[in-house]
Chains A and B, each alone.
Chain A
Amino acid sequence: MSYEELMDYDEVMESYDPALGLEVHVELNTHSKMFCSCSTQFGAEPNTQTCPTCLGLPGSLPVVNAKAIESAIRIGLALNCSISTWCRFARKNYFYPDMTKNFQTSQYDEPICFDGQVEVEVDGQPFIIPIERAHMEEDAGKSQHMGGTTGRIQGADYSLMDYNRAGVPLIEIVTKPIMATGPQAPAVARAYVGFLRDMIRALGVSDVRMEQGSLRCDANVSLMPKGSTTLGTRTETKNVNSLRSIEKALRFEICRQGAILSSGGQVVQETRHWHEDGAYTSAGRSKEEAEDYRYFPEPDLVPIAPSREWVEELRATIPEPPAVHIAGLNKTWGFSDLEMRDVVNAEAVDLIHATVEAGASPQAARKWWMTELLRRANAESISLEDLPISGEHVAEVQRLIDSGLISDKIARQVIEAVLAGEGSPTQIVEDRGLTLVSDSVTLQKAVDDVIEANPDIAQKIREGKDQATGALIGQVMKQMSGQADAAKVREMIIASLAS
C-alpha cells in the first residue's frame, strides 16, 4: 500500500506537462554470451553456464560475439538510428556481487547506434519518440537474498549468486526527453514499448518476454508547469514488467509528483520501485550524490568499426515498421479505421492474425478477441496475449460453429473451458457432449411439447404473427439446454403449425 498523497490525474494535467524518458533493456537471443562461449539458455541449473571470462577470473580474455553486434546494428537501423563508424566498449566500475569482475562491460560516450526516432500512434494520433542511443552491454548475474522476512535485499543476512545470466548480451535503448504528449504520456510510453516489443520480435533478435525479463523498462517522468520549457526533477521507476504496468506506474508517478508540486514541495530525484500487487511506487535509492562509475575504454577489447557495406547489407534485412505491417494486414481484413484502432489498442493484431491464419474469417476472429476474450482479459487485468488461449483455439471454435456442431452460446462455454485449461475446443465438445442435437426425432418431440404447453402463442403464430415464434424457439432451446440449432428449430415450429 502507498501512503503518499496523490492528486487527481486530470487536475495534474490542468497545471502541468509531463516529460518522459524511457530506458529499455533487451536481452538478445544469441546462443552464446556477449564475450564468451557460455550458453545463454534461460532456466538452467544455477552456475552451470559460466567460464573464466564471465566469472572475471584473472588472465581471461573477452572476445566479442559477432551475432550480438549484428543484432545491435539491426535494432539501431529499425529505430532509424545512425550507426557508428568506430566505437568502443567501456568499463562501468561498481561493486556489487551481481558481477564478479566489479565492472560491467558497457558502452559510454560511443554508443554503436545513436540519434534515431520512431513514430507511435495513440488513439489515431501520431507521436514522435526521439531515440538518444542504443548501446551494447552485458547482463549481470541473479541474486537471491536470504534471511530477513521479505526476500528483499533490505534486512537480508546474506545473498546467493547465480552467474548464468552474467555476460548475456543486452541492448539498452534510451530515448531523449519525450515532450508534448499531454495527458497521453502514459499511453504513449506503453505504445512505444509495445512498438519496441513488436519490432524486435519481428527482427527475431530477442524473445522480448517481459515476464521473463528479456525486455525490461525503466520509466522516467517529470512534471513542469504548463508553459515552462525547463524540465522538472525526474524520478526513475524500475521493475515495470508489463505494458499495462508501464502505463499504470507512470500515471501513479504523475499523480504523486502533482500532489507534491502543487503543495509547494519538491520532487526528490530518486529511483522508485513499482509494486504490481498494490499498483504503487515506493522510494528506492536516492540519487542526490551522482554515482561515479569511473568509465574508461575497455583495454581488453579492440574497437568496433562496422563497414558501411555491412550496415547496408543489414539494412536490407529490416522488416517493415509495425504500423506499415498492420496497414498491410488490414488490406485483407477490411476492418474500418475505428475497428482497426480498437484492435491495435487492445494489442490484438498478432492474435487476430494467428486466428485468421488458422482458418477463421477476419470478422469472426475480431468478434471473439474484441468482445468475449477482451472482456475476460480486462476482468483479470491481464493482456489478451496472456489469456491461456491461442489463435488456433479460437479458429477451431469458429469452425465448430460454422459446421453446425455447436451454437454461439455453447461456443462461449467451450471458450470458458479452454481458458480453464480443459484442452482443445474439439476435445472439450466431445468430453462434455456439447454437440448440437440435430436428430429430428428428439427435436420434434421438444417442439411438440412446447406448442402443446403454449396454445395461445401457437394460435398467434397460426394467425400470421411471426414475431411470436421467438418465444417458442427460446423455450425449445431451453429444453435442449442450448444444444440445438435455432434456425432449424424455427423451421420445425413453423412447419408444425402450418399443418
Chain B
Amino acid sequence: MTLTNADVARLADLARLDLTPEELSVMAGQLDVILDAVASVSEVAGDDVPPSSHALDLTNVFRVDEVHQSLSPEAALKMAPAVEDGRFRVPRILGE
C-alpha cells in the first residue's frame, strides 16, 4: 500500500492539521509502514472471518434510563480555555 502526498494532504485537511510539504512526505512514509503492518492481519484472516470492530465478543450492553449526578457547571467549565456567561467560549467558527 502506498499513500501519496496528496492522500496525506487530504487527510491532514480533514483533521485540521497544517503540515508543510516536508512533513507530508515524512507522514506518508510513516503511515505506509503502519498500513502495511495492519494489512498483515488480512493474511491470516480468511474470508470466513468477519472483520470485528470491538475487542469483546459482546452485544447489548445497556444501562437503565436513570439520571445520576452531573458535573457541577463550575467543574465542567474549569476545563474550558475561556468561559463567558456560564458557557464555553469558542473562537470564531466561520473564517472570513
Contacts and interface: CB of A to CB of B under 8 A. Distances in A.
B87 A64 contact: no
B8 to A, nearest CB: 14
Contact of A32 (B65, B71, B79, B86): B65
Interface string A46-73: 1111111001010000011111110000
Given A46-B86, A47-B87, A97-B93, 14 more contacts: A32-B66, A45-B86, A47-B73, A48-B73, A51-B71, A64-B61, A65-B65, A67-B64, A156-B94, A158-B91, A159-B89, A299-B53, A304-B60, A305-B60
Interface residues of B, number: 34
Interface string A287-299: 0000010101111
A479 B60 CA distance: 76
B84 interface: yes
A50 B94 contact: no
Interface string A91-103: 0010111000000
**Interface size range of chain A in the complex:** 35 or more
A157 interface: yes
B31 to A, nearest CB: 15
A368 interface: no
A303 B58 CA distance: 7
Contacts of A55: 71, 76, 79
A47 B76 contact: yes
Given A50-B76, A95-B16, A302 B61 contact: yes
Contacts of A145: 93
B70 A51 contact: yes
Contact of A65 (B53, B54, B62, B88): B62
Contacts of A143: 93
Contacts of B44: none
B77 A47 contact: yes
A303 B94 CA distance: 36
Interface stretch (A160-168, A260-268, A317-325): A160-168
Interface in B37-96: 53-54, 56, 58-68, 70-73, 76-77, 79, 84-94
Contacts of B65: 30-32, 65-68
A144 B87 contact: yes
Interface of A: 30-32, 37-39, 45-52, 55, 57, 63-69, 86, 88, 93, 95-97, 143-146, 153-154, 156-163, 292, 294, 296-299, 301-306
A153 B67 contact: no
Q: Which 10 A-B pairs have the closest CB atoms?
A: A297-B53, A67-B65, A37-B68, A160-B87, A66-B62, A305-B59, A161-B88, A97-B90, A63-B63, A46-B86
Chain B interface secondary structure, helix, strand, loop or mixed? loop
A66 B63 contact: yes
Taking each of B58, B77, B90, which has the highest tally of chain A beta carbons within 10 Å of its own beta carbon?
Answer: B90
Contacts of A161: 87-90
A147 to B, nearest CB: 8
Contact of A63 (B62, B72, B85): B62
A88 B51 CA distance: 13
Nearest to A296: B53
13 contacts: A38-B70, A46-B87, A48-B72, A50-B76, A55-B79, A68-B65, A96-B93, A145-B93, A162-B86, A294-B14, A297-B53, A297-B54, A302-B60
Given A302-B58, A305-B59, A50 B71 contact: yes
A122 to B, nearest CB: 37
Given A32-B65, A302-B60, A305-B59, A153 B94 contact: yes
B85 A160 contact: yes
A47 B72 CA distance: 8
Contacts of A46: 73, 85-87
Contacts of B62: 63-66, 69
Given A47-B87, A159-B90, A161-B88, A39 B61 contact: no
Nearest to B54: A302
Contacts of A39: 67, 70
A303 B93 contact: no
Contacts of A294: 14
Contact of A37 (B54, B66, B73, B94): B66
A157 B92 contact: yes
B77 to A, nearest CB: 6
B14 A292 contact: yes
B96 to A, nearest CB: 10
Contact of B63 (A37, A45, A146, A296): A37
A160 B88 contact: yes
Nearest to B11: A294
A144 B88 CA distance: 10
Given A47-B76, A156-B93, A86 B59 contact: yes
A45 B72 CA distance: 11
